[in-house]
């Protein structure tokens, strides 16, 4: 019986990804600083890839990975269907170093797939509902014999167009560029970030520009050390295509801030130093390190400031805020810019530090309820049965 | 109430969302549809399939088969799985490849509880050959399941090719390695293959499972070269610093007792004596070559790395090297701030300097030459106790923004192979930066030379200092004298054991001669 079944059963339609994937090899994590390091020698820190991993060619690897995905799908794991993956996805998968990294990425793609599916279903449902409502309105107006009153939608107020608001904001920004205080974002950390972090940085840099522009008293914001052929700036350029136009109010320099501004005025804001910034000094030019460090927490900005011999400072975060456990004290770049904007305007740390997300802080009055709620939410989200879990984990032991 | 809540929080923090769609509900489903005693009838399978597909959103025709066999993963469900296959055949449906490969895995787990019949082995071979024929390439999960299957049969050597194939896309799993190794251990003539596989397992930094050793012990108990084989196993676990589980030790004891070889479960005292035979365990040793290697690469790997400014500055490193070259050797290097903060942070300099001075006095009384590594802000402590410290010890202050640990470790290394250091810090973040070979050497060096401060007491001029000495004896299986083996073991098999510094709790003392 088995024999016949298998002979009949195993007619496999070969599963293959679209093989027209082209493109370059991405991601080189560590790089050599362009400035010379007096102690540079052969590095011991490089972790060797698994000693026995053989090298194989790309086509073969793609076929194997496609099979891996297909098998995981058949196994009922949280992975997307083969057809869902795009060439870019495969390109990224090829760069991932291990099986577990790949499966994390598959799970992420699975979530995206499911979200897309349910959005599609909802859209269809909505279309049906709209159609029904229209039908009902049409019926009502047919039944009603009266004329419909109104001034045929005219108003006595002037309409303010988006472009008017836009040029108002740009005007503010250009004023700031001529007369305002300067601030610098140091975009030189591309090579210390992975792909994900670099894209995040680009997003935050875009937000920095936008939120600075909307503020009452914007800074004269300078993006320094920007190398346009690297991922962060490329992504930012895709977000703001007019970024490099001469009439666009944005300063992007390939030069370092040390070449653009007097050294004695520069203050590098780095969380790793031990001096608090006491008050905002309009003569100083503050530098924010343009980095998202989710993976490693090396004191890169500290090293940079030390190397250049600049003054350093950090925000007095512990002096003014009660920090909750867990989420860390890292802030995004746009939060930093917002804090400095409000500090400049109000000279009041309490107001400026309102931009620190509430979830990172402890509200002592409401803390117990908050914890309770969070716990309950998590339990629900995981559809978690504590008794069962406890029992089964005991069994395992 | 509070206790219950804390418990819940702890459980939640360990909880991971299962990667499989079904597994969160599997216990419930198993209870409902799998009678413990009997088998399932064909109509019940249709019901099961419909219920599963209705109740779990993401199940469909493509992944239902593997989901069903996933529910059958435990014990004697082989009968049910084969019935399900029959049922599919009856329905004229094609089982998914994953289902078939998981069936092989199920055969394997059944083989652990009972001996398979020859007809079943034939079936395994059939499924295996069919799956092999179907694919041009294999991915790691298929390879793994195929290995589970083929390792039950006479053709298990094909599994070795599959291991190679797995490496194309992933590191082979411990399970597949061990399935092959235990099969190879079933015959004395293939021992060399098994040992080779075991070497590969430890090279991947994985722990061999108990089944490998049990299979090995079962085979050697009938052989002539019993002692030779046994010593080979002891050598292997000693060399790789493995700890086997109690289960293996029980098996081992049975066999030893059968052969009338003396063996005892024992404990090792803090000074390294065995409770039963009273022999002293060997001291840990570091080869000069190893030590020199560590000394040579430490500064570059841990302190300087890609950018010296992250942890220090070039000037500081140069100054440090100049000073240390001139003033070495020291007998002991003290992590000043670590020692001082053992009393808690946020105390006044008086307390701090008192502790430091009593520790310095402790070493001075033993006629040791001491170097203290501190930070520049300690220069502000202007107390009489500090005068005593400065008179009796050398102090190197690193900058406030520099890390002091790498300086401490390097000073101790530079001073020579006999220099100790005093710190409570296990220095994991620093050893992490070394490569695998140096990591092992560094840990060994730490185990020999790291003293830690337990407490200082006796008021301001506290003179009572308790310092914990390193264990310093071998904490892995080793032979003393002619044939006296001491083998540490743990209660349960751990796939990812924590790093240990002290002496293991449980030992087996074996007198082979």
Q: Is the confidence at residue B208, as pLDDT, over 50?
A: yes
Among residues B420, B435, B462, the one where a domain terminates is B462
Residues B507 and B445 in one domain: no
Q: Are B313 and B423 part of one and the same domain? A: yes
Longest alpha-carbon distance in chain B: 93
| DSSP letter assigned to residue B268 | B
Helix (H) or strand (E) holding B420: strand B420-422
Same domain, B299 and B443: yes
Cross-chain Cβ contact B170/A99 below 8 Å: yes
The whole-angstrom separation of Cα B302 and Cα B311 is 9
Q: Looking at the structure, do residues B295 and B433 belong to the same domain, yes or no?
A: yes
Which of A9, A103, A272 is facing B95, going by the closest CB pair?
A9
Counted domains in chain B: 3
| Within a domain: A391 | yes
Residue A24 has pLDDT above 60, yes or no: no
Q: List pLDDT tens digits, range B157-175.
A: 999 999 998 988 899 999 9
Element (H, E) at A124: helix A99-143
Q: What is the pLDDT of residue B461?
A: 52
Output phi, psi for B268, to 5 deg. -115, 130
- Which residue of B15, B96, B134 is in closest CB contact with A74? B96
Statement to judge: residues A377 and A352 lie in one domain: no
Q: Place A17 in a pLDDT band, splitting at 50, 70 and 90.
A: very low
Q: What's the total number of domains in chain A?
A: 3
Cβ-nearest to A39 among B22, B204, B317: B317
pLDDT the model gives residue A131:
95
Cβ neighbours around B51 below 10 Å, total: 13
Q: What average pLDDT does this structure show over B7-35?
A: 69
In chain A, which residue's Cα lies nearest the Cα of B305? A43
**pLDDT tens digits for range B335-351:** 888 888 887 777 788 88
Question: Pairing state of beta strands B332-335 and B420-422?
Answer: parallel
Is the separation of the CB atoms in B453 and B339 below 8 Å?
yes
The answer to whether residues B502 and B360 belong to one domain is no
Whether residue A329 is found in the same domain as residue A382:
no
> What's the domain range around B297?
288-462
* Lowest pLDDT segment from A165-174, A386-395, B48-57, B177-186: A386-395
- Evaluate whether A239 touches A202 at the Cβ level (below 8 Å): yes
Full-model pTM = 0.76
Instruction: Give residue A117's pLDDT.
Output: 93
User: Is the pLDDT reported for residue B390 higher than 50?
Assistant: yes
Reported confidence tier of residue A395, pLDDT bands at 50, 70, 90: very low
Residue-level pLDDT at B58? 81
State which H helix or E strand residue B465 sits in.
Answer: strand B464-468
Indicate if A96 and A124 belong to the same structural domain. Answer: yes
Domain hosting A175: range is 169-360
Cβ-based contacts of B310 with chain A (< 8 Å): 298-300, 302-303
Residue A234, pLDDT > 80, answer yes
B 489-508: CB under 8 A from A: 492
Label the pairing between strands B484-490 and B244-245.
parallel
Q: Are residues A190 and A337 in the same domain?
A: yes
The lowest-confidence range among A339-348, B37-46, B133-142 is B37-46
- Do A221 and A198 belong to one domain? yes
Chain B nearest-CA distance from A221, in A, is 27
**For chain B, what percent of residues have pLDDT higher than 90?**
18
Q: Report yes or no: B207 and B493 within 8 Å, Cβ to Cβ.
A: yes
Region B29-48: mean pLDDT is 71
Residue B37 confidence (pLDDT):
59
Q: Which of residues 7-36 of B touch A (CB under 8 A)?
A: 7-9, 11-12, 14-15, 17, 19-22, 24, 27-28
Q: Say which of A46, A64, A78 has its CB closest to residue B169.
A: A64
Answer yes or no: is the ipTM higher than 0.85.
no
Whether B249 and B193 map to the same domain: the answer is yes
Which pLDDT value is given to residue A393? 42
Task: Provide the number of CB pairs (under 8 Å) joining chain A to chain B.
Answer: 203
A334 and A382 belong to one structural domain: no
At residue B401, the pLDDT reads: 87
One domain for residues B199 and B338:
no
* Residue A364, both tokens: 């002592």
Structural domain contains residue B166: no
Question: A351 is written with which tokens?
Answer: 């107001």
| Dist. CA B102–CA A74, nearest whole Å | 11
Q: Do A99 and B309 touch (CB under 8 A)?
A: no
Asked if residue A239 has a cis previous peptide bond (ω within 30° of 0), the answer is no
Span B223-245, average pLDDT? 89
Report the candidate in B113, B162, B157 with the shortest Cα–Cα distance to residue B140: B162
- Using the predicted structure, report yes or no on whether residue B273 has a pLDDT greater than 60: yes
Q: B81-122, pLDDT tens digit by residue? A: 888 888 888 888 888 888 899 889 888 888 888 888 888 899
Provide the pLDDT for residue B88: 87
Write down the pLDDT at residue A262: 93
Query: Over 50: is that where the pLDDT of A199 sits?
Result: yes
* Region of poorest pLDDT, from A277-291, B175-189, B465-479: B465-479
């Amino acid at each position: 019986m088995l024999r016949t079944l298998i002979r009949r059963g195993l007619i496999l339609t070969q599963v293959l990804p679209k093989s027209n994937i082209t493109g370059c090899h991405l991601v080189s994590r560590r790089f050599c600083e362009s400035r010379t390091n007096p102690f540079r020698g052969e590095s011991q820190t490089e972790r060797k890839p698994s000693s026995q991993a053989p090298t194989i060619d790309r086509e073969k690897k793609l076929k194997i990975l496609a099979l891996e995905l297909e098998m995981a799908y058949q196994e009922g794991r949280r992975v997307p269907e083969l057809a869902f993956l795009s060439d870019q996805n495969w390109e990224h998968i090829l760069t991932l170093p291990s099986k577990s990294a790949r499966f994390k990425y598959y799970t992420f793609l699975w979530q995206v797939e499911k979200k897309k599916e349910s959005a599609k279903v909802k859209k269809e449902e909505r279309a049906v509902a709209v159609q029904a409502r229209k039908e009902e309105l049409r019926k009502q107006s047919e039944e009603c014999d009266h004329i419909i009153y109104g001034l045929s939608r005219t108003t006595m107020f002037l309409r303010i167009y988006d472009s008017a608001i836009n040029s108002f904001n740009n005007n503010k920004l250009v004023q700031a560029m001529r007369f305002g205080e300067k601030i610098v974002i140091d975009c030189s950390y591309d090579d210390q970030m992975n792909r994900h972090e670099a894209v995040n940085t680009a997003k935050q840099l875009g937000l920095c520009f936008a939120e600075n522009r909307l503020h009452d008293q914007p800074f004269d914001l300078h993006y320094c050390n920007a190398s346009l052929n690297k991922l962060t700036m490329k992504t930012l350029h895709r977000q703001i295509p007019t970024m490099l136009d001469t009439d666009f109010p944005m300063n992007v320099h390939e030069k370092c801030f040390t070449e653009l501004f007097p050294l004695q005025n520069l203050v590098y804001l780095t969380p790793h130093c031990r001096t608090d910034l006491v008050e905002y000094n309009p003569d100083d030019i503050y530098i924010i390190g343009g980095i998202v460090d989710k993976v490693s927490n090396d004191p890169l900005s500290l090293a940079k400031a030390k190397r250049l011999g600049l003054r350093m400072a950090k925000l007095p975060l512990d002096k003014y805020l009660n920090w909750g456990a867990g989420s860390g004290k890292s802030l995004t770049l746009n939060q930093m810019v917002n804090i400095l904007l409000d500090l400049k305007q109000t000279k009041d740390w309490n107001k400026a530090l309102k931009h620190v997300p509430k979830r990172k802080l402890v509200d002592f009055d409401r803390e117990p309820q908050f914890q309770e709620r969070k716990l309950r939410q998590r339990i629900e989200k995981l559809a978690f049965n504590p008794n069962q879990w406890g029992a089964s984990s005991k069994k395992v032991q | 109430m509070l206790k219950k809540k804390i418990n819940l929080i702890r459980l939640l923090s360990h909880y991971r969302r299962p990667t499989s769609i079904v597994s969160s509900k599997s216990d419930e489903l198993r209870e409902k549809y799998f009678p413990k005693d009997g088998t399932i009838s064909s109509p019940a399978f249709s019901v099961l399939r419909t219920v599963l597909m209705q109740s779990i959103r993401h199940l469909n025709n493509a992944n239902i088969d593997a989901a069903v066999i996933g529910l059958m993963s435990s014990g004697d469900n082989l009968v049910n799985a084969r019935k399900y296959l029959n049922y599919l055949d009856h329905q004229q449906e094609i089982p998914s490849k994953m289902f078939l490969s998981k069936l092989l895995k199920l055969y394997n787990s059944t083989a652990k509880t009972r001996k398979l019949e020859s007809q079943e082995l034939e079936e395994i071979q059939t499924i295996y050959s069919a799956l092999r024929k179907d694919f041009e390439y294999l991915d790691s999960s298929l390879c793994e399941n195929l290995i589970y299957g083929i390792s039950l049969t006479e053709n298990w050597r094909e599994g070795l090719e599959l291991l190679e194939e797995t490496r194309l896309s992933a590191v082979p799993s411990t399970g597949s390695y061990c399935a092959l190794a235990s099969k190879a251990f079933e015959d004395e003539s293939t021992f060399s293959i098994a040992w080779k596989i075991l070497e590969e397992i430890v090279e991947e930094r994985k722990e061999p499972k108990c089944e490998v050793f049990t299979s090995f012990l079962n085979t050697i108990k009938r052989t002539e070269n019993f002692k030779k084989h046994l010593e080979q196993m002891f050598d292997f676990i000693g060399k790789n610093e493995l700890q086997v589980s109690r289960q293996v030790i029980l098996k081992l004891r049975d066999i030893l007792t059968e052969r009338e070889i003396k063996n005892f479960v024992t404990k090792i005292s803090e000074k390294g004596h065995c409770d039963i035979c009273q022999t002293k365990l060997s001291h840990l040793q570091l080869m000069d070559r190893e030590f020199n290697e560590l000394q040579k690469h430490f500064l570059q790997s841990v302190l300087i790395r890609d950018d010296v400014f992250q942890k220090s500055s070039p000037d500081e490193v140069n100054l440090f090297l100049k000073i240390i070259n001139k003033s070495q050797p020291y007998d002991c290097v003290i992590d000043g701030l670590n020692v001082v903060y053992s009393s808690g942070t946020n105390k006044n300099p008086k307390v701090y300097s008192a502790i430091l001075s009593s520790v310095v006095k402790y070493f001075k009384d033993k006629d040791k030459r001491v170097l203290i590594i501190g930070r520049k802000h300690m220069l502000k402590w202007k107390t009489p106790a500090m005068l005593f410290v400065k008179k009796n010890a050398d102090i190197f202050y690193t900058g406030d923004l520099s890390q002091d640990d790498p300086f401490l470790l390097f000073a101790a290394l530079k001073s020579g192979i006999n220099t100790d250091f005093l710190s409570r810090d296990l220095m994991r973040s620093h050893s992490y930066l070394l490569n695998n070979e140096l990591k092992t050497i560094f840990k060994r060096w730490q185990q020999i030379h790291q003293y830690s401060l337990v407490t200082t007491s006796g008021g301001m001029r506290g003179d009572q200092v308790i310092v914990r000495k390193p264990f310093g004896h071998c904490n892995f299986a080793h032979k003393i004298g002619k044939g006296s083996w001491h083998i540490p073991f743990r209660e349960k098999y751990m796939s990812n054991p924590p790093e240990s510094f002290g002496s293991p709790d449980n030992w087996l003392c074996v007198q082979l001669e």
